[in-house]
């Protein structure tokens, strides 16, 4: 009875140790007697002989590697930055990576390639470019050069991101002063434009008044003036108030008997 129980435990243990689970986001590679199998094991359960075979798991999801580095600039300055490298392993190249680089050593290879590539690319740009719109071009060039080197090895470089860029103190202050000067120039240009528009508005208004007065003066003649005088006499005649009117027949002059002009 005890022998049966012992055999049952041994068989159960062997069954449990002969099974491995490959999760989503990773692949498996069999190593049998030290030799790698080129067949990629997809996610799921896999049985194997634990005495002869080992299952090596490799992540194929997008990984993020952060590197602190001093990037050289064209003028010879060092710009401190934190760099994020987004990469992933190509599933079909997993056996080759295990054989030539090893499990967990990919970060050393990628970081070495990045430092060499970044030094080559950044040395063609000024330090201020790493803190401006040129940064996107720098990131793209570094990623493209890394792809040429690492893609044949089985690594897909998705992006290189420059973060937390710290310029040298003197240069940082100079960049800030330049930005402030550009903002002041833009503000002054706006004020000048506004004053120019206001001057043009006043000029147009004055020209309109001048033209109106010119039209009025050209339209006035003796007949119109006499007609306006007759209309003035007619309006005065309608008024019930007592008035003294002095006139030569052409233009009335009204005198209020109380001494106040109406």
DSSP state of 23: P
For residue 110, which of 89, 124, 137 has the smallest C-alpha distance? 89
The rounded percent of the chain whose pLDDT value lies above 90 is 19
- Percent helix, percent strand, percent coil in the chain, to nearest 5: 50, 25, 20
Please name every residue paired with 20 in a beta bridge, in sequence order, or none if there are none. Answer: 46
Q: Do residues 66 and 129 make contact, with C-beta atoms less than 8 angstroms apart?
A: no
pLDDT in tens, 31-58: 888 888 888 888 888 877 777 888 888 8
Q: What is the DSSP string of 234-256?
A: HHHHH--S--EEEESSSSEEEE-
- Parts of the chain belonging to CATH 3.30.479.30: 63-172
Per-residue pLDDT reduced to its tens digit, 59-99: 889 999 999 988 888 888 788 889 999 999 999 888 888 88
**H or E segment to which residue 254 belongs:** strand 252-255
| Homologous superfamily in CATH for domain 63-172 | Band 7 domain (3.30.479.30)
Binning pLDDT at 50, 70 and 90, where does residue 261 land? very low
Buried b (16+ CB within 10 A) or exposed e, 167-178: beeebeeeeeee
Distance CA 178, CA 201 (A): 35
């Amino acid at each position: 009875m005890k022998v049966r129980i012992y055999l049952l435990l041994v068989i159960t243990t062997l069954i449990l140790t002969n099974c491995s689970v490959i999760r989503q986001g990773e692949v498996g590679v069999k190593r049998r007697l030290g030799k790698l199998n080129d067949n990629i094991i997809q996610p799921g359960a896999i049985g194997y002989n634990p005495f002869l075979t080992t299952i090596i798991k490799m992540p194929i999801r997008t990984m993020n590697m952060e590197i602190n580095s001093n990037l050289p600039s064209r003028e010879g300055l060092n710009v401190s930055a934190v760099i994020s490298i987004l990469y992933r392993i190509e599933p079909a190249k997993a056996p080759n990576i295990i054989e030539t680089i090893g499990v967990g050593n990919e970060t050393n290879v990628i970081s070495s390639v990045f430092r060499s590539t970044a030094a080559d690319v950044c040395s063609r740009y000024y330090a201020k470019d790493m803190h401006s719109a040129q940064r996107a071009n720098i990131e793209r060039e570094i990623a493209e050069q890394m792809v040429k080197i690492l893609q044949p090895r089985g690594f897909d470089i998705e992006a290189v991101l420059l973060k937390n860029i710290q310029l040298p103190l003197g240069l940082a202050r100079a960049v800030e002063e330049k930005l402030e000067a550009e903002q002041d120039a833009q503000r002054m240009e706006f004020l000048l434009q506004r004053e120019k528009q206001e001057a043009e508005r006043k000029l147009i208004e004055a020209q309109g008044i001048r033209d109106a007065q010119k039209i009025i003066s050209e339209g006035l003649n003796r007949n119109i003036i006499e007609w306006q005088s007759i209309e003035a006499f007619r309006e005065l005649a309608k008024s019930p108030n007592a008035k003294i009117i002095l006139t030569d027949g052409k233009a009335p002059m009204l005198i209020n008997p109380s001494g106040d002009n109406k």
